[in-house]
Amino acid sequence: MIKILDASNKNFNSSLENLLLKRKKKIQNNKSSVSKIINDVKTNGDKAIIKYEKKFNENAIIIPNQKEIKKIISSLDPKIKRAIDIAYNRIYKFHSLQKFKNISYVDKLKNKLEYRYIPIDSVGIYVPGSTVSYPSSVLMNAIPALVAGVKRIVMINPGKNGKQNPAVLYAAKKCKISEIYSIGGPAAIAGITYGTKKIKKVDKIVGPGNAYVASAKKEVFGDIGIEGMTAGPSEVTVVCDKFSNCEWVASDLIGQAEHDSLAQCILISKNKNFIDKVKSSIVSQLKELPRASIAKTSLLTNGILMYVSSDKEIISLVNRIAPEHLELNIKNYKKIIYKIKNAGSICVGKYSVMAMTDYNVGSNHVLPTNTSARYSSGISVNEFYKRISYINLSKKGIETLGPSVITLANYEGLEGHAKSVKLRIRRK
């Protein structure tokens, strides 16, 4: 079912590249349909959004009733509430430590330079909800925004017949979110970007989604801010050795595969026998999984079990794949961990399962996917700040530094720049 690659084979690199590229093309193979939806919303506003909501979510209600929301929340199992409370507190505490300090600097010429972090005014958090509900995604996106001081946080969450999941709504309430739009997909991204009669636009969108949502966010970027990464579909790479538990590892791969048929699950090991055991365990465990059909499709089309012979190969492969989640389920992780440069998050040791980080460890689960971990990071408090520089030059400062600026400006052919400095340092 799941593909096995041997790094010692001469066609290994081309086989791996083809598999990775095949998935990437599938993710990106929706641009024309996404563009069509976005343009429809730009032209027709609420009418277009309702059309797509009826088609994809059996929904005709854009803004859920507040009384209905309270009623739905009241029906939530107290155990779920307590679990959300625990997650909220841990995530908030860890993200509070991420706050940046403003910088103020005065040089010897009495020039004053400042660098200040300013919260973004308004943010829309996208919370998937077409097949399953993710209260954890509400917390992961909204809490860093709260910590940063964002004044207006809006939740976008598709619901059936305009009704959201009670846990999602409770998490939103916990995060002080009162503005909710019951919409999803590319139409939701367009609506929150450009605004309609019913939907107020925001300054930035964050949050994971399927391939269509990810594509839509890329399409509207420039008209609105998006997080500096590709968020979704999900990925995990697990590195194992002979000391790993094959059942545990198999369950880690399956746990990621059940997210989405385009999810990618990769195992890397120096032990062939272990790889075979994991493969058998996957087949066995899938029989008991409610979302088995999704997981099977993911593992069949995008899953890879890789045999390698050295730590050097492991390091090279992981940095090449740049996975969203990386599990170093090996005894000698200290030898390689700091040589891994490309990964959204790294779980170390046999007990540090990726699923824990999805909920209440305190770290963020909105992470770079589709190799974007090569140049970007997961959601943090920093995502919700703008950085502004403030410059206050002294008379001595411009007179001392100005001549070299004039030299460089003239060299670049920007005489207007040079003149604006000359006029200020000209002796009277």
Question: For residue 117, what is the domain's CATH number?
Answer: 3.40.50.1980
How far apart CA 68 and CA 214 sit, in angstroms, is 30
**Crossing angle of helices 31-44 and 185-194, rounded to 10°:** 40
Whether residue 326 is found in the same domain as residue 410 = no
- DSSP assignment, residue 160? B
Same domain assignment for residues 369 and 413:
no
First to last CA, the chain: 84
Per-residue pLDDT at 57: 84
Total number of domains in the chain: 3
Query: What amino acid positions are annotated as catalytic residues?
Result: 324-325
Q: pLDDT value at position 261?
A: 85
d(CA 30, CA 167): 31
Give residue 310's identity as a one-letter amino acid code.
S
Domain shared by 287 and 412, yes or no: no
| DSSP per position, 224-288 | BEE-SS---S-EEEEEE-TTS-HHHHHHHHHHHHTT-TT-EEEEEES-HHHHHHHHHHHHHHHTT
Is 147 in the same domain as 224? yes
Q: For residue 36, tell me if it sits in a domain.
A: no
Answer yes or no: do 245 and 220 share one domain: no
Do 341 and 417 reside in the same domain of the chain? Answer: no
Q: What is the pLDDT along the chain (428 residues), one digit of tens a residue?
A: 688 898 889 898 898 888 888 887 777 767 788 999 999 999 999 999 999 999 888 888 899 888 989 999 999 999 999 999 999 999 999 999 998 889 999 999 999 999 999 999 999 999 987 667 889 999 999 999 999 999 999 999 987 666 789 999 999 999 999 999 999 999 999 999 999 999 999 999 999 888 889 889 989 999 999 987 776 678 999 999 988 999 999 999 999 888 888 889 999 999 999 999 999 999 899 988 888 889 888 898 899 999 999 999 999 999 999 999 999 999 889 999 999 999 999 999 888 998 899 999 999 998 988 888 999 999 999 999 999 999 999 999 999 999 999 999 999 999 999 999 999 997 64
Q: Are residues 172 and 101 in the same domain?
A: yes
Beta bridge partners of 236: 265, 325
Give the span between the Cα atoms of 158 and 156, in whole angstroms: 7
pLDDT of res. 162: 63
Residue 38 covered by a domain:
no
In a domain, 35, yes or no: no
Q: What is the pLDDT of residue 99?
A: 86
Q: So what's the pLDDT on residue 326?
A: 96
Say what angle helices 272-286 and 246-257 make with each other, to 10 degrees: 50
Assess if residue 50 is contained within a domain.
yes
Given a contact cutoff of 8 angstroms between Cβ atoms, the answer to whether 38 and 185 are in contact is no
195 and 291 share one domain = no
Contact status, residue 275 vs residue 307, Cβ threshold 8 Å: yes
Taking CA 205 as the corner, what is the angle to CA 204 and CA 210, rounded to the nearest 5 degrees?
A: 160
Q: Does residue 248 belong to any structural domain of this protein?
A: yes
- Judge if 162 and 213 occupy the same domain: yes
What's the pLDDT at 428?
Answer: 46
- Helix and strand numbers, DSSP H then E, in the chain: 17, 14
Range of the domain at 104: 45-229+381-385
Which of 40, 56, 38 has its CA nearest to residue 48?
Answer: 40
Same structural domain, 303 and 198:
no
Tokens 């964002």 -> residue: 150
Residue 390 lies in a domain: no
pLDDT of residue 131: 62
81 domain residue, yes or no: yes
> What whole-number distance in Å separates Cα of residue 290 and Cα of residue 242?
30
The reply to whether 80 and 222 lie within a common domain is yes
**Peptide bond preceding 64: is omega within 30 degrees of 0, i.e. cis?**
no
Domain co-membership, 180 together with 217: yes
For residue 312, is it within any domain?
Answer: yes
Give the three-state DSSP class for 115.
strand
